[in-house]
Chain A
Amino acid sequence: MAKKEYAFYPGCSSQSKASASNYLTSVNSMCKTLDIKLTEIPDWNCCGASIGYAEGGELPRHVMNARNFALAEQHLPGQQVVATCAACWLGARETKERLDASAQLMADTNEALKEAGLHYKAEVEIRHMVEVLIEDFGYDALAKPVVKPLGGLKIAGYVGCQTNRPFGIAGESFENPMYLDKLVETLGAEPVANYEQKVTCCGGALAFSETEKSQAQIKNIVESAYDQGADLIVTPCPLCQANVEIYQEQINKRYGTKFNMPVTYYSQLMSVAYGGSSKDAGLDGQLIRAPKLEEIAKK
C-alpha cells in the first residue's frame, strides 16, 4: 500500500496534450518517489476557473464543483481531494466554504445535483498538492529522496496569486510567502532572496482578453527574475506557468527585450532532484527549454 492516498483532481489543463500536460508528467514522477497514490476522481468536471462567473453565475458554478465532491465521496470515500491546479483548488475551496456557511446554498446545490443522480454529504476536504508536500510530508522528508541536488541553480520562486490568496498555505503571509523558496532550498538550489514580483498577478485569464495589460505584468515578473540573476522561474500554478512562459516571445516584440527565461513547476524540480530524467520531469514540454536543469537530469 502506498504511504499516502488521495482523490486526485487534475483539472482541464493537466489532461494529455493540454497546456499543462507536462505538469502532470512531473507530478506523477514526484509522487512515485514519495510513494503517493493519486486516484483520479471518476468523470471529474471543470471547476469553472476564475472566469466562469460572468456567464455561469453563482449556483451553477458551485454545483459544478460540488459534482466533483459528490463523485469523490461516492467513489473514493474517506480520501481527501488533492488538486494540482491553483484555480481548481481555489474554485473548489471557495465552493466548499460557501456551502458549509449556508444551509440554503447546500440544499439548493443538492437539489441540482439530484438531476445528475448525485448527493454531496459535505464530508470532503480540499487540498493543494503543495499543502500535501509541506504539511503531510514536511521539508525534511522531502529532502530525503534527493539524489541529484540542484546545486548551482538560482531560482526565482514565483508564487503568483491563487495558491496564495485568498486562502494561501497555512502559516504563510500573503505578501511574502516563503514555501516555494524553502522548497527550492530543500532541493539544493539557491532561491532568489529578493524576488519582488513573487506575488504579482500575471493577468490570469485576462492574458487572453486584455493582452497588453497582462503582458506589462508578465514583463515585470520576468525582468525581476533576470535582475536577481535567476536561471529559471518556478511556480505552483499552471496558468502562471503558461502565461509567463508563452508570452515572452510577444513581449520581446512589444518591448524590444530579449527574454528567454525558463518557467518550470516545483514538481519538475523535484522530479529531477529525485533522479528523474528530463522526460520524467516533463522538461521536454517546455516552450523555453531549461538547459541547466536538463544537464543535472542527464548526470
Chain B
Amino acid sequence: MSDLNAQAVAKYRTNFLKEVEERVEEGEWVKMCMQCGVCSGSCPLGPFWAHPPQEIFMMIRAGRRDEVLTSDSMWMCTSCYNCIVRCPRKLPITHIMHGLANYAHRLGLAPKNQPTRVFATMFWNNLIKTGRVNELKLSLGLYFKDGFKQGIQNALNMQKTGLGLMKAKRLNPFELFSGHGCKDRKGIAAMLKKAREIEASRKHFAN
C-alpha cells in the first residue's frame, strides 16, 4: 500500500464519501446524485464502463472504496460532456470522473497499465517540459510504451499516415530534437511546483 493510500485509509476509516468530498475534484457533488442513470445512457463509451457514473456515485456512498478506486471505469471518460449537460441535478459528472481518476492515480490504486492512464500521464509530463505539447515525442512515446519491438510495429502501422502528415506539413520530424516551447520554462516549473504544494495542503495530503 502506498504511503498516501495508507494515510487516507487511516484518516477516513470507513467514511469514503467524506474522503471523496474533501479530496476529489468536485467531490462534494456526489451526494446530490438521484440515480436516474441519464449519465450512463449518454456516455459514448457507456457499454465499456464496468461501473457507469451513477453506479460509481452509489458505490461511493456505500463505502465501496477499493472497488471504486481500482476501477477501470473512470478512465473511459472521453470528456464529451454529454453527462454534464443532461444531468437533471446539474452534477459536474465529467469533472467528478476526472477527479476520481486523478485521485486513484495519485494513490497508486488505478489499474497499472490502463492505456488512458498511461497516455494521460505521458501527455502531462510532455507538456510541462516546455510548456507546450511536443506532438512527435508524444506519438512516439505512445508507440513505444509496450517495448521496442511493439513500438517499431506500431510505428510501421502508422507509417503511411505519418508520412502523409509530414507531407501536409502537420508533423515535424525535427521536433524530436527541438521544437516549440515557452521561453519562461523556469517560471512554469516553479509555478507548477508551488501549485502542487498548495493542492497537497488544501486536500490534506500532508496530514
Give A residues with C-beta under 8 Å from B.
12-13, 15-22, 43-46, 48-60, 62-64, 67, 104, 108-109, 111-118, 161-162, 165-166, 168, 174, 200-201, 203-206, 208-210, 213-214, 217, 246, 249-250, 284-287
Contact = CB atoms under 8 A, between A and B. Distances in A.
Interface centre among B116, B123, B202 (most CB of A within 10 A): B123
B62 interface: no
A31 B12 CA distance: 55
A206 B84 contact: no
B156 interface: no
A15 B134 CA distance: 10
A174 B85 contact: yes
15 contacts: A15-B180, A18-B170, A19-B170, A51-B79, A53-B120, A57-B25, A63-B192, A108-B198, A112-B191, A115-B187, A162-B81, A209-B115, A209-B118, A213-B48, A249-B160
A53 B101 contact: yes
Interface residues of B, number: 65
Given A51-B123, A54-B120, A60 B132 contact: no
Contacts of B120: 51-55, 205, 209
Contacts, number: 215
A255 B133 CA distance: 32
B187 A57 contact: no
Interface in B157-179: 157, 160-161, 164-165, 168-172, 175
Interface in B11-48: 25, 44-45, 48
Interface of B: 25, 44-45, 48, 76, 78-82, 84-86, 94, 98-99, 101-102, 105-106, 115-121, 123-125, 127-128, 131-133, 135, 139, 142, 157, 160-161, 164-165, 168-172, 175, 180, 182-184, 187-188, 190-196, 198-199, 202
Contacts of A112: 191-192, 194-195, 198
Given A51-B119, A63-B191, A201 B80 contact: yes
Given A56-B124, A208-B142, 20 more contacts: A13-B135, A19-B135, A50-B78, A55-B102, A55-B120, A55-B125, A56-B102, A59-B195, A60-B196, A62-B195, A104-B202, A108-B199, A111-B198, A114-B194, A161-B78, A161-B80, A165-B85, A208-B119, A209-B118, A210-B115
A165 B132 contact: no
A116 B188 contact: yes
5 interchain residue pairs of minimum CB distance: A116-B187, A54-B120, A165-B81, A201-B80, A50-B79
A18 to B, nearest CB: 6
Given A52-B124, A53-B98, A165-B84, A17 B172 contact: yes
Contacts of A115: 187, 190-191, 193-194
Contacts of B98: 53-54
A108 B202 contact: yes
Contacts of B191: 63, 67, 112-113, 115-116, 118
Contact of A12 (B115, B127, B188): B127
A46 B133 contact: yes
Contacts of B25: 53, 57-58
A48 B132 CA distance: 9
A57 B188 contact: no
Contacts of B184: 43, 116
Contact of A286 (B133, B168, B188, B193): B168
A79 B175 CA distance: 32
A12 B138 CA distance: 12
Nearest to A117: B187
Contact of B124 (A17, A48, A286): A48
B165 A287 contact: yes
Contacts of A16: 169, 172
Interface centre among A12, A44, A104, A111 (most CB of B within 10 A): A12
A21 B169 contact: yes
A249 B196 CA distance: 41
Nearest to A15: B180
B187 A17 contact: no
B121 A58 contact: no
B193 A209 contact: no
